[in-house]
Chains A and B, each alone.
Chain A
Amino acid sequence: MRIYFDHAATTPVDPQVEASMRPYFAGRFGNASAQYEEGQLAHKAVEEARIKVADLTGARPEEIVFTGSGTESNNMAIKGTAWALRDKGNHIITSSIEHPAVLESCRWLERAGYEVTYLPVDEYGLINPALVEESIRKETILISIMQANNEVGTIEPIAEIAEVARRHQIKLHCDAVQTVGNIAINVVELGVDMLSMSAHKLYGPKGVGALYIKEGTSLASLLHGGHQESGRRAGTENTVGMVGFGKAAELARERLIQGPARLEKMRDTMIDGIMKRIKWVRLNGHPKRRLPGNVNISIEFVEGEGMLMHLDMMGISCSTGSACQAADLKASHVLLAMGLSHEMSHGSLRFSLGHLTTEAEIARVVEVLPGIVEKLRAMSPLTVKERVNA
């Protein structure tokens, strides 16, 4: 049995979600926009799913637009706002630790003449709401800040940033792909105008996301065509995916009643266990304000990919922010923005826990990791004084 510690990357589809989707492949295959019975069955299923996603986030169903991914939701919020408000201004504020779906959308807009401020973060990955306020110009049309960072799990002060945005009457978008389903959230209490989510992070299928768009928010569409999604997102509805997302949202809501306390406890057990058994380890991200299932550490003098491969061969999956593991051979932009040295980002490992994670699995990692680290450290030419004395 493999031990899966990469739930921040994606989660397995819940068996109940899978079962909910199955009828819509061949049986109830109708086009949700069609007026006859097959179409109406599909339409009803899509609208029920919309209600469930709305219920999970405190939105109203008509404020939820289904998309093809969290990436698309982010693109739509940013490019759609930029286009809709192009006569008002050309400045966007975001942070330096956003997901590439946000960062690259912003960079694309920069090439089109927009200006973007990428806010720095502190050593814990926190964004300072006061800095957001200082960066506002009269041309500012959008603030886009993630609710929780996917790599280090730091939870940002969105409500405070929303307060700033409201005071200056600037639209606020929030990438909540890592939080929806993992912590209780409410779009009204957060005070955001747009919020991105993705089904595959909450035991739903891949390739379906949603964007909450507060009533009255002007937003241009990215995909033009038919009248689906109230004309906001053209394309025949992905009924199967939407139904799955709806079921996943419903199940997440039930799980959240218990609260994420069990995950938090396991997370802290894992962090403590690793810190106790391995020297020269740093916790990345905020000790308290962090996602319930996120463990991100940097182990000095070793490189992440080597650790990852050793763990993989022992049946354990996790991820690293090391440059060696990146397709572009660049170290994690999140860790660098938090001030980590190149060496420290090299030695980073992220274990992301899920609701099926067991204490035995945590114990297994805590048991095998020290041996792997010791072996790789013996191979490493990096040394510090303490290491010589150890």
Chain B
Amino acid sequence: MLDYSDKVKDHLLNPRNVGEMEHPSGVGKVGNPVCGDIMEMCIKVEDEVIVDAVFRTFGCGAAIAASSMVTELIKGKKIKEALRLSKDEVASALDGLPPIKMHCSVLGVEALQKAIKNYQEQKSSLKN
């Protein structure tokens, strides 16, 4: 097996925040051009703070662990802060990823950014 850290293994065996959400504030769905995996993230936002986040991933152990970690990292964060989350932060929160698996953490970050964008678009269309 790949040289995964204990944190990655833990998040794979016990992923946090798996599932779907009723009435999400924003949804982001991304496909991985490298190996063809799919990730979906839903966020709930109140007063510009992400109060809840869930994910579903069709992908490898690193992809599952990364999406799980992203949801953990952004819960309770302001939208502005969440937008600054980088793939390197996700990887280091997981005590590192094998180089070949770095693209899987990109996926988690992209799903989050899409979910936030989706939230912001919905918000501005409500205003108009």
Q: How far does the alpha carbon of A305 sit from the alpha carbon of B58 in the complex, in Å? A: 11
Asked if A323 meets B57 with Cβ closer than 8 Å, knowing A308-B1, A309-B9, the reply is: no
Which residue from B34, B38, B39, B61 sits with its C-beta under 8 Å from A329?
B34
Contact indicator A324/B35 (Cβ below 8 Å): yes
Q: Contacts of B35 on A, CB cut-off 8 Å? A: 323-324, 329-331
Q: Contacts of A339 on B, CB cut-off 8 Å? A: none
Q: Contacts of B63 on A, CB cut-off 8 Å? A: 303, 324
* Minimum CB–CB distance for A316 against chain B, Å: 12
Which residues between 43 and 63 of chain B lie within 8 Å of chain A, taking CB atoms? 56-61, 63
Asked if A323 meets B38 with Cβ closer than 8 Å, knowing A308-B1, A310-B13, A380-B58, the reply is: no
Contact indicator B39/A379 (Cβ below 8 Å): no
Contact indicator A303/B56 (Cβ below 8 Å): no
Which partner residue on chain A sits nearest B103 by CB separation? A329
Contact indicator B1/A309 (Cβ below 8 Å): yes
Q: Does A9 contact B (CB under 8 A)?
A: no
Q: Contacts of A309 on B, CB cut-off 8 Å? A: 1, 4, 9, 12, 61
Q: Does B110 contact A (CB under 8 A)?
A: no
Q: How far does the alpha carbon of A322 sit from the alpha carbon of B60 in the complex, in Å? A: 9
Which partner residue on chain B sits nearest A309 by CB separation? B61
* Minimum CB–CB distance for A305 against chain B, Å: 4
Which residues between 11 and 55 of chain B lie within 8 Å of chain A, taking CB atoms? 12-13, 15, 18-19, 29, 34-40
Q: Could you give, for residues 1-13 of chain B, a 1 whenever the CB lies within 8 Å of some chain A CB and a 0 otherwise?
A: 1101000010011
Q: How far does the alpha carbon of A346 sit from the alpha carbon of B37 in the complex, in Å? A: 9
Contact indicator A305/B61 (Cβ below 8 Å): yes
Q: Does A216 contact B (CB under 8 A)?
A: no
Contact indicator A378/B18 (Cβ below 8 Å): yes
Q: Contacts of B59 on A, CB cut-off 8 Å? A: 303, 306, 324
* Minimum CB–CB distance for B9 against chain A, Å: 7
Q: How far does the alpha carbon of A302 sit from the alpha carbon of B12 in the complex, in Å? A: 13
Q: Contacts of A313 on B, CB cut-off 8 Å? A: 9, 13
Q: Is the interface of B mostly helix, strand, loop or mixed?
A: mixed
Asked if A312 meets B29 with Cβ closer than 8 Å, knowing A324-B63, A380-B56, A381-B40, the reply is: no
Contact indicator B40/A312 (Cβ below 8 Å): no
* Minimum CB–CB distance for B29 against chain A, Å: 7
In this complex, the interface size class of chain B, counting residues with CB under 8 Å from chain A, is: 20 to 34
Q: Does A223 contact B (CB under 8 A)?
A: no
Q: Which of B1, B56, B58, B63 has the most CB of A within 10 A?
A: B58
In this complex, the interface size class of chain A, counting residues with CB under 8 Å from chain B, is: 20 to 34
Q: Contacts of B58 on A, CB cut-off 8 Å? A: 301-303, 343, 346, 380-382
* Minimum CB–CB distance for A147 against chain B, Å: 30
* Minimum CB–CB distance for A223 against chain B, Å: 33
Contact indicator B29/A381 (Cβ below 8 Å): yes
Q: How far does the alpha carbon of A310 sit from the alpha carbon of B40 in the complex, in Å? A: 22
Q: Could you give, for residues 79-92 of chain B, a 1 whenever the CB lies within 8 Å of some chain A CB and a 0 otherwise?
A: 00000000000000
Contact indicator A382/B15 (Cβ below 8 Å): no
Q: How far does the alpha carbon of A380 sit from the alpha carbon of B57 in the complex, in Å? A: 5
Contact indicator B56/A346 (Cβ below 8 Å): no
Q: Contacts of B1 on A, CB cut-off 8 Å? A: 308-309, 312
Q: How far does the alpha carbon of A323 sit from the alpha carbon of B59 in the complex, in Å? A: 10
Q: How far does the alpha carbon of A198 sit from the alpha carbon of B38 in the complex, in Å? A: 39
Q: Contacts of A322 on B, CB cut-off 8 Å? A: 60
Q: Contacts of B126 on A, CB cut-off 8 Å? A: none
* Minimum CB–CB distance for B122 against chain A, Å: 20
Which residue from A325, A331, A343, A379 sits with its C-beta under 8 Å from B57?
A379
Q: How far does the alpha carbon of A325 sit from the alpha carbon of B40 in the complex, in Å? A: 21
Which partner residue on chain B sits nearest A383 by CB separation? B56
- 7 tightest Cβ-Cβ pairs between the two chains A and B: A324-B60, A323-B35, A381-B56, A305-B60, A381-B40, A329-B35, A380-B58
Give 10 new A-B contacts, CB below 8 A, not counting A305-B2, A313-B9, A381-B40. A302-B58, A323-B35, A327-B100, A343-B36, A346-B36, A346-B58, A378-B18, A380-B56, A381-B29, A382-B38
Chain B residues packing against A (C-beta within 8 Å): 1-2, 4, 9, 12-13, 15, 18-19, 29, 34-40, 56-61, 63-64, 100, 103-104
